[in-house]
Chain A
C-alpha cells in the first residue's frame, strides 16, 4: 500500500531478509544498532544520575538520617535480589552467546531464565514495598514516624493482593494459553507460552521467598533497632508486639494509636535518660560524639521521609525498567522461537542484553547505597 511497504519491507535479492534496505551489509546494520544502543544506555545513565544526585545531596547533608532510615530496608532481601539479577545477567549473556551461535533451544532457555529471574525480583520487591507501606515508611509527604505506635505491621498487606493481581491474571492467562497450545500441538507457541507461564509463576516464588524472609528477618533487620532497643529497655517491647497481633485481628488502627500514645507518654521520660543509638545496632557511633542524636530524635527531626522518597524513586524507576525489559525479552522470546537469529543477525538479542545489563548495573550500585548504609 504505502511507502512503508515499498520502502521498509521490500527486500533486495542479494539482501538477506533481516537486513534493512538502507544498510549495505549485516555488519553495518549491527554496528549501527550497537552504537545506538550504547547511546541509549548513556541516556539511561544520565537519567538515573538525577536521582543519584538527589541521593548524594541529601545523604551528605544529613548522613545520620540516612543511617537511621536505611535500617528499615531488609538487606537480606536486597542481597537476594542482587543475586537474582546477577544470575539473570548471566543467563542473558548466555542467551547472546546462543544467538550468536544459532543455538535456538539454548536461546529460548536463556531468555526464559532471564524472564523468570526478573519476575522473582519483582516478587521480592513487591513484598519489600508493601511491607514498608504498612509501616508508614512512605515518601516524605506521607511518611509516618516510626516512633508512633500507629505503625503496626499487619502481616500480609492488603496492597500485596493489589500488586499481585496482574501476575495472577498472567498465570491464569498463560496457563490457559499453554494448555491450548499443548492440546493443539502448536510447538512454537507452546515454547512461548510455557516460559511465560513459568515467568508469571516466578513472581509468586519471589513473593513467597520475600514473605518467608521478611517475617523471619523482621526482628533482626526490619523493625529498626531504634524502636525495639528503646522499648525493650523500658519493658514495652512485648506490649508493642502484642499490639501487632491485635492489629491482625482487625482492631481499628485508631484505637491502637491512641492507646499507644498514652503508653508512649509514660515511656518518654525513660527515653531521655537511656538509649543513645547503640554501636552494634547502628554503627554510626564512631563518627559521633557521645550524646549524638538517638534514632528517635533523628526521626522526629524529619528528613527520613526524603530517604524513602529517593528509595522509592530509585527502586521504582529501576523496577519500571525491569518491567520494560521483560516486555522486550518476551518479544525476543517470540522471535527466538521463530528462529530469527543467527550468526549474521543477533543484534536484537545483543541490544536487549546490553539494556538488561545496565539495569543490573544500576542495581549493583543501588544495593549498597540504599541497603547497606551504616
Chain B
C-alpha cells in the first residue's frame, strides 16, 4: 500500500510512535476532516462525554431542587425545562450514540481486522450530523425552554410555547446520524470480515453492535417521520396528532414508541456486548454459551419491535391490545435472562481478575438485573396501572440506562482505554470510582422505587412533605454518584498526563484488537490478521506489566501457568 509510508528501517518503538493513529498526522484539520474510524470514534467519545456532562449537571440540578418539598431554586416552569433537557440530551445525545458511535466506531473495524468501516465519509458525515443535532438542542436550551419532556407527547407539544420545532429538527438530524452509523456497521460486518472469520467466530461485541445497528436502521426512520409530522403539526396544523383537527394524539404515542422502545435496546444492547467481552476476558475463560449470547442479542433486537405498547397502558389503548403487548413484553425477559445467566456461568471456575473494567462489569450485572426485574412490574398490566408515571418508572429505567448502559460504557472505556490512548490508568482509583458509582447510584435510585410505590408521581417540582427523607437520600446519592464519575474522569485525565505506556494486550484478550499495537497504527493491520477463536485464552501468557499478555506458539515450551497477576500500573 503506497499510502503507508515505509518505516520498516526505523526501530520498532520509533515506528510505532510515528504510525499510531493519534499522532501520524497533526493539526486541527487532520482531526476535523479525518476519515479514520478511530479518530472519529475518539471525537464521538469527547462529544458524548460533553453531552453527558451537561445532562448530568442538569440531573444534579433536579436533585438539588428536590431536596425540599417546595420550590427553592427553580420555578415549576424551569423545573419542567430542566428535566426535559436532562432527558432529551441524555437520550438523544448521550446514551444512543455512546457505545455504538464512540466505542463501536473505534472497535468494529479493528475487531474485524478491517482497515476501516465500509463508508468512511458517511461515518464522518454522521459525526457532523451529531454535532449539528447537538447544536439544535443547545439552541433549544439557550433560547427558550423546551418543556415537553423528552417524549414530545401531543397535544401538549403542539400547543406549548417552547421551541419544539427546533428540538424536533435536532432529533431528526440526530436520527440520521444514528441511521448512518448503524448502516455503516451492518455493511462493514457483512462485507469486510477477513477470511476465516465466520459469523460464529465474531466477538460478541460485534454481534451486539450488529443487532443494535439493525434496530437503528429499522426504527429510527419512524422517529424521523414522527418528529417531522410533529413539526408539520406545529407549523401547518396538519392535524394528524391534534384532536382539534380530528386527529388522534394516541397515534403519536404509537409512532413515537415504535421507535423509542426499540431505541431502549439501541441503548442497552451494545452495553451487553461490552459486558460479554469483559466477562470473558477478565475471567480468562471462554464465554459460556457463545451461540446463545449471540442469538439472544438478535432476539432482543427483534422482540424489541413487538412490545412498544407497554409504554401506553394508561393512554387509552384497547384492552385487547394492552393484553397482547403485556404478554409480548415478558418475552423480552427471556433473551435478557439468557445473557445474565451466561455471564455468570462464564465467571464460574474462571480466573477472575477484579480489575476496574471487571468491577464495572459486575456492577452492570447487578444493576441491570434489578432494572430488568423491576421492569416486570411495569410490564404486568395490573401493577403498571398504579405504578405508571411514578418514581418507580424513573428508578426502573435509570437502573437500565445508567446502571446498565452508562456503567457498561464506563467499563468498556476502562477496558479499551489502553488500546485507544496507549496509556495505562490507575487501577486503584479506577476501582474507587467504580465503588463510588455503585454506592451513589443505589443510594439515588433505590429510594425512588419506594417513592414510586408510595405514589410519588414523576415530573413534579413539589411534593408532599412526607416524601422528603427519601428524596433527600436520593439527592445525596446523586451527589455521590456525580462525585464517583468525577473520580473516573480524574483517572482518565491522570492517565493521559502521566499514564504508563500500555502494552498491546494488557488484559489478555483474544479478540483481534489486542493483536495490534496500543494505540493501533492508522492502517490497523498491514494484512488481514490471523483469525482465532475470540474466546480461546489458552495460547496467551502473561509476561510482565510492560509486555502484557503475549501469544505463545503451540510448539514453544509451555510457560509455567502461574496464577496470572492482574495488570496493574
List residues of chain A with CB under 8 Å of any chain B CB: 1-4, 6-8, 10-13, 20-23, 28, 31-33, 35-36, 39-40, 42-51, 53-54, 57-58, 139-142, 302-303, 305-306, 309-310, 312-313, 317
Q: Is the CB of B238 within 8 A of A6?
A: no
Q: Is the CB of A50 within 8 A of B115?
A: no
Shortest distance from the beta carbon of A142 to any chain B beta carbon, whole Å: 7
Q: Is the CB of A3 within 8 A of B229?
A: no
Inter-chain CA distance A131–B232, complex, in Å, is 21
Q: Is the CB of A4 within 8 A of B239?
A: no
Known: A22-B117, A141-B239. 19 other contacts (CB 8 A): A1-B27, A1-B30, A4-B35, A6-B25, A7-B3, A11-B2, A22-B192, A35-B187, A36-B118, A39-B187, A42-B217, A43-B217, A46-B219, A140-B238, A141-B245, A305-B239, A306-B246, A309-B236, A317-B228
| A42-B217, A140-B239, A309-B240 known; A2 vs B30 contact (CB < 8 Å) | yes
Inter-chain CA distance A7–B245, complex, in Å, is 55
Within B4-57, which residues are at the interface with A (CB < 8 Å)? 24-25, 27, 29-31, 33-36, 39
Judge whether B389 is part of the interface by a CB distance below 8 angstroms.
no
Inter-chain CA distance A312–B248, complex, in Å, is 18
Q: Is the CB of B192 within 8 A of A7?
A: no
Q: Is the CB of A309 within 8 A of B225?
A: no
How many B residues touch A, CB cutoff 8 Å?
58
Q: B-side binding surface: helix, strand, loop or mixed?
A: helix
| Residues of chain B within 8 A of A23, CB atoms compared | 192
Q: Is the CB of B187 within 8 A of A139?
A: no
Judge whether B559 is part of the interface by a CB distance below 8 angstroms.
no
Inter-chain CA distance A283–B209, complex, in Å, is 53
| Residues of chain B within 8 A of A36, CB atoms compared | 118-119, 122, 183-184, 187
| A40-B183, A313-B232 known; A21 vs B118 contact (CB < 8 Å) | no
Per-residue A-contact encoding for B179-219, CB less than 8 Å = 1, 0 else: 10001101110111000000000000000000000000111
List residues of chain B with CB under 8 Å of any chain A CB: 1-3, 24-25, 27, 29-31, 33-36, 39, 114-122, 179, 183-184, 186-188, 190-192, 217-222, 224-226, 228-229, 232, 236-240, 242, 245-248, 251, 254-255, 522
Q: Is the CB of A305 within 8 A of B245?
A: yes
| Residues of chain A within 8 A of B116, CB atoms compared | 21-22
Q: Is the CB of A6 within 8 A of B118?
A: no
| Residues of chain B within 8 A of A46, CB atoms compared | 218-219, 221-222
Which of B120, B122, B192, B239 makes the CB contact (< 8 A) with A8? B120
Q: Is the CB of A54 within 8 A of B251?
A: yes
Q: Is the CB of B2 within 8 A of A35?
A: no
| A7-B35, A139-B237 known; A47 vs B3 contact (CB < 8 Å) | no
Q: Is the CB of B240 within 8 A of A306?
A: yes
23 A-B pairs, CB-CB below 8 angstroms? Answer: A1-B30, A6-B25, A8-B120, A10-B1, A12-B2, A21-B3, A22-B120, A35-B190, A36-B119, A39-B187, A40-B183, A46-B218, A46-B222, A51-B225, A58-B240, A139-B236, A140-B246, A302-B245, A306-B245, A309-B238, A310-B240, A313-B240, A317-B225
Q: Is the CB of A42 within 8 A of B218?
A: yes
Identify the closest chain B residue to A57 (Cβ): B251
| Residues of chain A within 8 A of B27, CB atoms compared | 1-2
Q: Is the CB of B34 within 8 A of A32?
A: no
Shortest distance from the beta carbon of A96 to any chain B beta carbon, whole Å: 20
Inter-chain CA distance A173–B480, complex, in Å, is 65
Q: Is the CB of A2 within 8 A of B25?
A: yes
Q: Is the CB of B186 within 8 A of A35?
A: yes
| Residues of chain B within 8 A of A7, CB atoms compared | 3, 34-36, 522
| Residues of chain A within 8 A of B239, CB atoms compared | 139-141, 305-306, 309
Which of A35, A305, A312 makes the CB contact (< 8 A) with B191? A35
Which of A4, A33, A302 lies at the interface centre, i.e. has the most chain B CB atoms within 10 A of its CB? A4
| Residues of chain A within 8 A of B190, CB atoms compared | 32, 35
| Residues of chain A within 8 A of B184, CB atoms compared | 36
Q: Is the CB of A313 within 8 A of B238?
A: yes
Q: Is the CB of A10 within 8 A of B2?
A: yes
| Residues of chain B within 8 A of A57, CB atoms compared | 248, 251
Identify the closest chain A residue to B237 (Cβ): A141
Q: Is the CB of A141 within 8 A of B236?
A: yes
| Residues of chain A within 8 A of B228, CB atoms compared | 317
| Residues of chain B within 8 A of A51, CB atoms compared | 225, 229
Inter-chain CA distance A35–B186, complex, in Å, is 9
Inter-chain CA distance A57–B250, complex, in Å, is 12
Q: Is the CB of B225 within 8 A of A31?
A: no
| Residues of chain A within 8 A of B24, CB atoms compared | 3
Which of B30, B217, B219, B238 lies at the interface centre, i.e. has the most chain A CB atoms within 10 A of its CB? B238
Inter-chain CA distance A13–B229, complex, in Å, is 51
Q: Is the CB of B2 within 8 A of A305?
A: no
| Residues of chain A within 8 A of B121, CB atoms compared | 8
| Residues of chain A within 8 A of B33, CB atoms compared | 2-4
Q: Is the CB of A8 within 8 A of B218?
A: no
Inter-chain CA distance A28–B1, complex, in Å, is 17
Which of A32, A303, A317 makes the CB contact (< 8 A) with B187? A32
| A21-B1, A140-B238, A305-B239 known; A3 vs B25 contact (CB < 8 Å) | yes
Shortest distance from the beta carbon of A143 to any chain B beta carbon, whole Å: 8
Q: Is the CB of A305 within 8 A of B222?
A: no
Inter-chain CA distance A42–B220, complex, in Å, is 11
Q: Is the CB of A43 within 8 A of B220?
A: yes
Identify the closest chain B residue to A9 (Cβ): B3
| A21-B115, A35-B187, A39-B217 known; A48 vs B225 contact (CB < 8 Å) | yes
| Residues of chain A within 8 A of B251, CB atoms compared | 53-54, 57
Q: Is the CB of B246 within 8 A of A305?
A: yes
Q: Is the CB of B29 within 8 A of A313?
A: no
Q: Is the CB of A50 within 8 A of B226?
A: yes
Inter-chain CA distance A8–B120, complex, in Å, is 8
Inter-chain CA distance A147–B155, complex, in Å, is 29
Which of B36, B217, B237 lies at the interface centre, i.e. has the most chain A CB atoms within 10 A of its CB? B237
| Residues of chain A within 8 A of B179, CB atoms compared | 43
Which of A3, A43, A317 makes the CB contact (< 8 A) with B36? A3
Shortest distance from the beta carbon of B554 to any chain A beta carbon, whole Å: 29
| Residues of chain B within 8 A of A35, CB atoms compared | 186-187, 190-191
| A39-B186, A57-B251, A139-B237 known; A32 vs B191 contact (CB < 8 Å) | yes
Identify the closest chain A residue to B124 (Cβ): A4
Identify the closest chain B residue to A301 (Cβ): B246
Shortest distance from the beta carbon of B343 to any chain A beta carbon, whole Å: 31
| Residues of chain B within 8 A of A54, CB atoms compared | 229, 240, 251
Inter-chain CA distance A32–B184, complex, in Å, is 9
Identify the closest chain B residue to A308 (Cβ): B238
Which of A23, A33, A43, A58 lies at the interface centre, i.e. has the most chain B CB atoms within 10 A of its CB? A43
Inter-chain CA distance A33–B228, complex, in Å, is 28
Which of B115, B191, B224, B522 lies at the interface centre, i.e. has the most chain A CB atoms within 10 A of its CB? B191
Identify the closest chain A residue to B117 (Cβ): A22
| Residues of chain A within 8 A of B220, CB atoms compared | 43
Shortest distance from the beta carbon of A53 to any chain B beta carbon, whole Å: 7
Inter-chain CA distance A139–B234, complex, in Å, is 12
Shortest distance from the beta carbon of A192 to any chain B beta carbon, whole Å: 23
Q: Is the CB of B183 within 8 A of A39?
A: yes
| Residues of chain B within 8 A of A4, CB atoms compared | 30, 33-35
Inter-chain CA distance A34–B268, complex, in Å, is 29
Q: Is the CB of A140 within 8 A of B245?
A: yes
| Residues of chain B within 8 A of A50, CB atoms compared | 221-222, 225-226, 229, 255
Inter-chain CA distance A4–B251, complex, in Å, is 46
Shortest distance from the beta carbon of B234 to any chain A beta carbon, whole Å: 10
Shortest distance from the beta carbon of A109 to any chain B beta carbon, whole Å: 29
Q: Is the CB of A3 within 8 A of B115?
A: no
Shortest distance from the beta carbon of B68 to any chain A beta carbon, whole Å: 43
Q: Is the CB of B238 within 8 A of A312?
A: yes
| Residues of chain A within 8 A of B248, CB atoms compared | 57
Inter-chain CA distance A6–B29, complex, in Å, is 13
Shortest distance from the beta carbon of A322 to any chain B beta carbon, whole Å: 17
Q: Is the CB of B3 within 8 A of A12?
A: yes
Q: Is the CB of B236 within 8 A of A2?
A: no
Q: Is the CB of B221 within 8 A of A22?
A: no
Q: Is the CB of B25 within 8 A of A306?
A: no
